[in-house]
């Protein structure tokens, strides 16, 4: 029986856990390259656990926990994306931030970097040291029907990327200002409909 969406209690996505093999190596990457703080660490349920956050309002945003099997199969459709966790995605503020993380990933142990333009966002996909697919992205001001994915040419200037993307979006299926799309889709996201526009 389909759930009655209007009766769903409030749910806000909060954090995720990653099963790891080399917890020290993974902690170093998530702290030194991505800037997370270790908020706690310890052992429970047979696992070594490291809690990581970049927001004092969240005790942890990422949990690293031991127990990953020695071998995991690759995603059968596209090896950039994970066999179970397809992507772990971080929102950033600007193209300058995106260029910064590109440099940090390149020098800090990220692999398989793949800059992508989604129209609605500029992204860099990359693998962490254990092959989990991360995405770093910046929202644009324009909505187009997803999925939409073409290479992002970071050799262009920020202004060139913005102008090119705006024109691309305006000529792509489903185009509308992202704000208009957000207003419309908020009405489908009960119980947020009553508070659309209110942050969190």
Residues lying near Fe ion in the complex (CB under 5 A) are found at 89, 135
| CB of 85 vs Fe ion, minimal distance in Å | 12
When the beta carbons of 146 and 195 are compared against Fe ion, the nearer one is: 146
| CB of 89 vs Fe ion, minimal distance in Å | 5
| CB of 2 vs Fe ion, minimal distance in Å | 27
When the beta carbons of 51 and 148 are compared against Fe ion, the nearer one is: 148
Q: How far apart are CA 87 and CA 83, in angstroms?
A: 10
When the beta carbons of 27 and 135 are compared against Fe ion, the nearer one is: 135
| CB of 115 vs Fe ion, minimal distance in Å | 13
Task: Report whether 134 contacts 109 (CB < 8 A).
Answer: no
When the beta carbons of 89 and 195 are compared against Fe ion, the nearer one is: 89
């Amino acid at each position: 029986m389909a759930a009655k969406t209007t009766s769903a209690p409030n749910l806000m996505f909060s954090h995720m856990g990653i099963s790891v093999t080399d917890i020290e190596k993974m902690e170093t990457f998530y702290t030194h390259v991505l800037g997370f703080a270790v908020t706690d660490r310890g052992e429970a349920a047979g696992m070594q656990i490291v809690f990581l956050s970049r927001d004092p309002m969240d005790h942890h945003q990422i949990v690293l926990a031991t127990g990953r099997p020695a071998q995991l199969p690759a995603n059968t459709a596209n090896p950039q994306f994970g066999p179970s966790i397809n992507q772990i995605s971080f929102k950033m503020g600007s193209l300058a931030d995106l260029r910064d993380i590109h440099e940090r990933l390149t020098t800090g142990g990220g692999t398989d970097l793949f800059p992508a333009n989604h129209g609605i966002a500029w992204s860099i996909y990359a693998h962490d040291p254990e092959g989990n697919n991360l995405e770093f992205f910046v929202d644009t001001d324009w909505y187009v029907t997803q999925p939409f994915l073409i290479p992002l040419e970071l050799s262009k200037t920020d202004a060139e990327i913005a102008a090119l993307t705006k024109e691309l979006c305006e000529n792509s299926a489903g185009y509308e200002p992202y704000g208009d799309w957000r207003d419309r889709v908020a009405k489908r996201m009960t119980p947020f409909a009553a508070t659309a526009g209110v942050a969190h």
